[in-house]
Amino acid sequence: MSEDIKLPYQDFYFGDWLTGTADLTHQQKGIYITLYALTGTRNGRGLPNDWDILCRMVNVYHEDLDKSEELKKDLQLILSNKFVLIDGNYQQQRQYEDRLKKVELIKLKKLAGSKGGVAKRKQNSSRVSESDSESLLTSIWDQLLVKRGSKQVALKSFINNALDIDPKILVEKYNSLCSQSDDPKFIPHFSTWLNQGRWEEELPTAKEEQIIFSAPKDYKNYVSFVKRCQHTTFIDKEMVDRMLKDGLITQEEHDRW
């Protein structure tokens, strides 16, 4: 059973996290990452669909009753917007699907034994044979915008990890990563990229990148930053002017910032 396989960590894509939580408060983000980590420790079973248990797991209780109610509302918001019910338990959709893929890969490797990924491909893919893999990799290699690393090492990675993946997807995804990099030295070797299965990674679009670095709507969350004269890309002059107009900061704090 998949529950017998323990995965102490999973892939965590920083850009996707920033984009997906841009509209959340810091408190809501804290609750979200706590639920995400708790789900990851339960070996695919998900979180119980029991409100009292979930409140205890996240620890939404506070001596200030109003604060406690605020935490509970944030917990409900995160459950509603970031989790889904699967087989009666709460799951984070992407985390759940990633785990299923990794568990399946582990099972296939166990079945393949010492032959590893090559045997798995032979059992499951008639589209391309091992003898054709070198010419197929050459075709892919020639289309890459940036050729990082050794082609021979890339061939081994290709056979073990991506022999049954559409070559067009591999070329498109890797070239997309290359085109978004400001410096080629930060682009991973093609073999490393294949080993990590990064053709499944969703790169942020220009619009998404703008969302990541745009100022949150609720400028009131950043009053303490201005009072401490702590600058951040999330705060602009218009926000500081609104704080002054609403009496949230003094004229001196406004001018000092």
Asked if the structure places residue 112 within a domain, the reply is no
- Residue matched to tokens 């491909």: 121
Between 95 and 203, where is the model more confident?
A: 95
Domain count of the fold of the chain:
3
The pLDDT value given to residue 81: 95
Statement to judge: residues 162 and 182 lie in one domain: yes
Per the structure block, which two tokens stand in for 82? 């970031």
Between 220 and 123, where is the model more confident?
A: 220
The model's confidence at residue 114, banded by pLDDT at 50, 70 and 90, is very low
Statement to judge: residues 25 and 72 lie in one domain: yes
Which of 65-74, 95-104, 124-133, 136-145 is the most confident on average?
65-74
The model's confidence at residue 51, banded by pLDDT at 50, 70 and 90, is very high
Between 224 and 109, where is the model more confident?
A: 224
What average pLDDT does range 198-206 have in this prediction? 72
CA distances from 147 to 67, 159, 162, 193 (A): 54, 18, 17, 12
Walk across the sheet containing 84-86 and list its strands. 47-48, 89-91, 84-86
Q: Helices 65-82 & 26-40, crossing angle to 10 degrees? A: 60
The pLDDT value given to residue 131: 54
The pLDDT value given to residue 256: 85
Asked if the structure places residue 122 within a domain, the reply is no
Statement to judge: residues 148 and 227 lie in one domain: no
The pLDDT value given to residue 232: 61
Statement to judge: residues 6 and 81 lie in one domain: yes
Asked if 164 and 119 touch (Cβ cutoff 8 Å), the reply is no
Statement to judge: residues 236 and 168 lie in one domain: no
What average pLDDT does range 115-132 have in this prediction? 47
pLDDT in tens, 220-239: 777 877 887 766 656 778 88
Asked if 194 and 154 touch (Cβ cutoff 8 Å), the reply is yes
Residue span of the structural domain in which 227 resides: 215-256
Between 233 and 162, where is the model more confident?
A: 162
> Around 24, how many Cα atoms within 13 Å sit in the side-chain half-sphere?
21
Phi, psi of 89 (to 5 degrees): -125, 155
- Residue matched to tokens 């892939």: 11
> Around 114, how many Cα atoms within 13 Å sit in the side-chain half-sphere?
0
